[in-house]
Amino acid sequence: MRSDAQLRSDVQAELDWDAAIKSTQIGVVAADGVVTLTGHVASHAEKYAAEAAARRVKGVKALAVEITVKLPSSDTRADADIAMAAERGLEWSSLVPAGKIKPMVENGWITLHGEVEWEYERRAAERAVRTLMGVTGVTNEIRIIPKVKAVDIEKRLHDALSRQADREAGHIQVTVNGDEVRLKGKVHSWAEFDAVNGAAWSAPGVSVVLNDLTIE
């Protein structure tokens, strides 16, 4: 098991290695496998990149992001301009259903509203707007409303876990209640956590995933 000092060093090295992270003002604190990122960056995209970099590091059990976005004056945009850019970004994404998502912008912070059938569409909408200039944050309130409820969600999900996360499939408890899936068990890394979570969201008919997995 990595010491807190080693974990902090590994996370800092990953931040330094990622070309998308230009800020030298990001602090890293590690305690019992829980990593906290502090400081400030120049864009929401950079903040997201820092979070993703920390999640890639082996030994990170949980992550707290306390990074603030401080836009350079040259990158500041009016909310109306950001909203227009967000609408165009959503329209140009081939993965986002046309006319289903409405962005709202306040002080540079985008909130996405609407309904889609799949989790990948929900995530695609967020990806389409989070790198826009002038954005200080994104809240994704898009709801998943599947057209068809699959009656065999649990079986399909177990099959998917066996294909996509075979190492962990036998250690994960899956409970299905209607279109809601709850995951319990232990995994060994964020990559395995994401693989199991992704398999659950990809199951036909799933609109809610309650992920109680822990990382050892």
Last residue of a domain, which of 124, 144, 164?
144
Is 187:168 a contact under the CB 8 Å cutoff? yes
Instruction: Render the burial of 107-126: b for 16+ CB within 10 Å, e for the rest.
Output: ebbbebebebbbbebbbbbb
The SS3 of residue 207 is coil
- 179: domain CATH number is 3.30.1340.30
Last residue of a domain, which of 101, 119, 144?
144
pLDDT along the chain (216 residues), means of 10: 90 95 93 95 96 94 95 96 98 95 97 93 96 97 74 68 63 79 85 83 81 86
> Same domain, yes or no, for 66 and 11?
yes
Q: Give the model's pLDDT for residue 13.
A: 96
How far apart are alpha carbons 61 and 33 in whole angstroms? 5
Determine the Cα angle at 188 with ends 124 and 210, to 5°: 50
Q: Give the model's pLDDT for residue 26.
A: 96
Is 113:141 a contact under the CB 8 Å cutoff? yes
Number of compact structural domains in the chain: 3
Q: In terms of residue numbers, what domain contains 120?
A: 75-144
> Same domain, yes or no, for 139 and 159?
no
The four Cα atoms 201, 19, 42, 141 give a dihedral, to 10 degrees, of: -10
